A and B are shown apart, each in its own frame.
Chain A
Amino acid sequence: MKTCLVVDDSKVIRKVARHILETLHFNVEEACDGREALTRCTAAAPDVVLLDWNMPVMSGMEFLRALGTSGVSRRPKVVFCTTESGVAHIRAAIDAGADEYVMKPFDRETLQSKLSLVGMA
């Protein structure tokens, strides 16, 4: 069973994502900001990170950059999942190393499709 770390400061989004991911047979972990996500990844890297952009403490983009220099033994796939749907944001995410990008709102099909594209579903 693959593990997905859901990183979002919204409890509602985390709950919705968890529900969908569990129906897709993922083991789900949660973090409410980039800092907490980085701590979790350093301790035990998940297979994939579903990552919000705008969060307090540490944003998704800051997390992604920090992940690159954190020395984690096995870098997880990173799928941004955000309301930021502008070209500039998507381009910046790709340039920073994001593997895929989900524009909110999302449904089960969207999430399954994107996770499949990164070899996770």
Chain B
Amino acid sequence: MDVSPATLRHFADLFHARTGQELAAGRRWRIETALRPLLRNHRIDSLDRLAGAVAGGGDTALADAVVDALLNNETSFFRDGATFRQLEERLFATFAAARAQSRRLRIWCAGCSTGQEAYSVAMMIAATPDRWEGWRIELTGTDLSGRAIAQARDGVYSPFEIQRGLPIRDMMRWFEPDGENWRAKADLRARVTFSPHNLLDPPPAGLRADIILCRNVMLYLAPDRRRHLFASLASVLADDGVLMLGAGETVLGQSDLFVPDTTMRGIYRRA
């Protein structure tokens, strides 16, 4: 399919304006692959015509669909196992002691994609019912992609998705067959609240967090958007709260609002 450089630039600009994410010139090939199903569904015969349809805010629903299709929703259960082990073995124990009076723990998975990370946290909490007996655990997953949030709420995963990172015993404990797919059981789904949210916007109203997982989001953002997002996350994080970033991400040189935890990799505290 012939695509003009101007059209590719147009989609990259639209994507950046909505998400703050850069679609680097070397990765623009992805645009054509990602948007092909959209062209088919809307019976539009070229990317140039699609660009024309969304130009100047002509069709906002279509523009939303374009942005959604271009988002990278790559995720898996218990991604970066060492990070989750730290959460389970150290941070949960710390917060269980620190919040023993209020018995309330608030966790925000910011940029949760299709929900695997939030469900991983939920399964870890559910694995130690004695520790959390009588607690109010508020586990919130948000993502810009309406498509991803819809899947997260349904809790339905393909055989390929369900087999990435999830031990078979956990799959059998927390999921059930749903045709060819596997669906989170009602008990697990009830432990997480998913809602759409753009991380470039102010944090969801009323949301405060003790633990924020914002993993593999920063790496796609331009430096100024990263600073903005760090400030936004800091504004809702408890004074003794922690921020968990992805394996390839850091606050160093990006924000002075957080400092690395000296004993746990990928964990950051308010400065």
Give A contacts to B, CB under 8 Å. Answer: 85-87, 90-91, 94, 98, 100-103, 106-107, 109-110, 113-114, 116-117
Contact = CB atoms under 8 A, between A and B. Distances in A.
B165 A113 contact: yes
B163 A103 contact: yes
Interface residues on B, range: 10 to 19
Nearest to B79: A113
A85 B160 CA distance: 12
Q: Which of B168, B169, B177 is the most central at the interface, judged by chain A CB atoms within 10 Å of its CB? A: B168
Given A103-B159, A116-B81, A91 B164 contact: no
A113 B177 contact: no
B258 to A, nearest CB: 29
B76 A113 contact: yes
Interface in B165-191: 165, 167-169, 171-172, 176-177
B172 A107 contact: no
Given A113-B163, A114-B163, A101 B168 contact: yes
Interface in B74-90: 76, 81
A110 B77 CA distance: 12
A-B complex: 5 closest residue pairs judged by Cβ atoms: A101-B168, A110-B163, A113-B164, A103-B159, A117-B167
B114 to A, nearest CB: 15
Contacts of A113: 76, 163-165
Contacts, number: 35
A85 B159 contact: yes
A102 B167 CA distance: 10
Nearest to A110: B163
A100 B167 contact: yes
Nearest to A102: B163
B160 A110 contact: yes
A104 B164 CA distance: 13
Nearest to B167: A117
Contacts of B81: 116
B162 to A, nearest CB: 8
A102 B171 CA distance: 12
A94 B172 contact: yes
